[in-house]
Structure 1
């Protein structure tokens, strides 16, 4: 196999970085020990630029090419965004209501009616109770209760986890 370019990133099915590579986990790296790689990455992914620089961090992230696609916002090299899950709250939910109407009039049927309303029950002798009506005498909204438990929803597409590794040694890439 030919030598990789310094800074070349590959997907790797193992849970370690082979010799000459490092995992892309965002770790800080000493500039003095990796001057060639620092000359390519700089502080794009972090570090102070004096003694350290950071490797890209692919943990929980999907790669995306930098630049601007048709109809898309520009993405800078090294930029990261997005979240793995989100909580749907009343404050970020579209405005809507769940109004349910019932009738204050007496029921005329003991089975639900198409386009019918819940009505007042009228039988006190354990006979089938008429509690539905086709036309309400007077509509009243029923009280609603809050439901849900504020558990965050996953926002990830289906995925398969692999390691991303970056070449620390190899051929220095030319700009031609």
Structure 2
């Protein structure tokens, strides 16, 4: 393919590697049989520099121009910043509230004053939220301050610790919307000569 430079990376919308190209998946490539490409890449993407070198790995990544961004963030050539998932620490989680509304049936007082019965009309002063989906009477625990010990609230374990029921924050996805295609690097083209 004479219109491509050695080392040029292109994205193709088909599921196979065309002749003269290598998939950009970080694979090791023989120096002996790919000397021209090695002369351009060296071991900046990995390899031992004696028998093999690695091509760039663009699996799950987007290419980004090297240099300094307008925000002042430096991006070094061949660096791989960023991550697919992020786990927030306790200090990163903002203080927040979860609000819900409740109504007491024919109650002359405010708040949740009793449990619902399993059948029939709820008695006066009973929270309409306290009946479970299976009609079994359940106590509703509502807090204006965090609980002092682990309790069940609306069928969910509420803990004084941060994160899941083991005190560990679960990672959440950190990916922008994407369309999966394949990147390939040219291994049969014109050598990109340096300018004078």
Q: Aligned pair in 2 of structure 1 residues 4, 152: CA closer, same or farther (>3 Å)?
A: same
Q: How much has 1:81 moved relative to structure 2? A: 1.6
Q: SS at 2:37's partner residue?
A: helix
Q: Is the 8 A contact 2:2 2:190 kept in 1?
A: no
Corresponding residue for residue 138 of structure 2: none
Q: Aligned pair in 2 of structure 1 residues 76, 129: CA closer, same or farther (>3 Å)?
A: same
Q: SS at 1:33's partner residue?
A: coil
Aligned partners of 2:54, 2:33: CA distance in 1, in Å?
13
Q: SS at 1:32's partner residue?
A: coil
Aligned partners of 2:108, 2:65: CA distance in 1, in Å?
60
Q: SS at 1:39's partner residue?
A: helix
Q: Is the 8 A contact 2:25 2:57 kept in 1?
A: yes
Q: TM-score w.r.t. structure 2 length?
A: 0.66
Corresponding residue for residue 61 of structure 1: 61
Corresponding residue for residue 33 of structure 2: 33
Q: Is the 8 A contact 1:99 1:141 kept in 2?
A: no
Q: How much has 1:97 moved relative to structure 2? A: 5.9
CA RMSD of aligned residues (A): 3.1
Q: TM-score w.r.t. structure 1 length?
A: 0.72
Aligned partners of 2:91, 2:24: CA distance in 1, in Å?
36
Aligned partners of 1:83, 1:52: CA distance in 2, in Å?
27
Q: How much has 1:90 moved relative to structure 2? A: 3.1
Q: Is the 8 A contact 2:109 2:125 kept in 1?
A: no
Corresponding residue for residue 143 of structure 1: 147
Q: How much has 1:112 moved relative to structure 2? A: 9.3
Q: Is the 8 A contact 1:111 1:130 kept in 2?
A: no
Q: Which runs of 5 or more residues in structure 2 are unaligned?
A: 115-121, 128-143, 149-157
Corresponding residue for residue 152 of structure 1: 171
Q: How much has 1:130 moved relative to structure 2? A: 7.7
Alignment of 1:1-176 (within 5 A): 2-90=2-90, 92-94=92-94, 96=95, 98=97, 110=107, 118=111, 121=113, 127-129=123-125, 141=145, 143=147, 145-146=158-159, 148=164, 150-176=169-195
Aligned partners of 2:191, 2:109: CA distance in 1, in Å?
76
